[in-house]
Amino acid sequence: MSNYADLKKDIEHKMVVSIDHAKKEFSGLRTGRASTALLDNVVVDAYGSKMPLNQVGSVSVPEPRLLSVLVWDKGLAKSVEKAIREANLGLNPMADGTLIRVPIPPLTAERRQELTKVAHKYAEHARVAIRNVRRDGNEALKKMEKDGDISQDDHRKFSDEVQKMTDQYVAKVDEALKNKEAEITQV
């Protein structure tokens, strides 16, 4: 029985990781409001290699529609400004020494629709990941039954539990998507 308990823990952990990943992707989607997560995926050319923005400066939100990046090395300010501009976020940074101001322009209706489609794509990736975890769990249960570790009745019962967990986590993804959509479409 402890084998199933370990398997269940593993399945649940993988489903939680899938949801966390989707939420992280959602946080990178630009809404009308400033969020430091918006610049999480920005990569800067620094010291001859590619580095995440958070390793060359600190990002803060001084106002609801403004991000500021304080670059630690004055020589990297131009690289950081260029990286933000080229990150396809629709942002236009302005450098002032080591401080880079990034105003967040209001979203157009068209851009809101694009972002909603991207959010749906992220949610679908999370749902697929959760279903893959379910498939792997069911295969492990079949193997456990074949090896004689669990009975056929236990296999059926545990499969039902795995399906309930799957439904539960898919519902959490849908809830996160609904919240993100509301945030994107809010004017």
Query: Mapping DSSP to helix (H, G, I), strand (E, B) and coil, where does residue 101 land?
Result: strand
| Domain covering 2-27+108-185 in this structure, CATH number | 1.10.132.20
Query: What is the chain's pLDDT, residue by residue, as a tens digit (187 residues)?
Result: 458 889 999 999 999 999 999 888 887 776 667 778 788 878 898 888 898 888 899 999 888 888 899 999 888 889 999 998 888 777 889 988 889 999 888 778 887 888 888 889 999 999 999 999 999 999 999 999 999 888 999 999 999 999 999 999 999 999 999 998 988 887 6
DSSP tag of 46: E
Q: What is the rounded CA–CA span in Å between residue 88 and residue 171?
A: 31
pTM, two decimal places? 0.70
Per DSSP, the chain holds a count of helices (H) and strands (E) of: 4, 6
Q: What is the dihedral of CA 165, 24, 116, 42, to 10 degrees?
A: -160
Sequence ranges of the domains in the chain: 2-27+108-185, 36-103
Q: Phi/psi at 103 (nearest 5 deg)? A: -70, 140
Q: Which residues pair with 103 in a beta bridge?
A: 66
The CATH class of the 36-103 domain is alpha beta
Structure tokens at 183: 């945030």
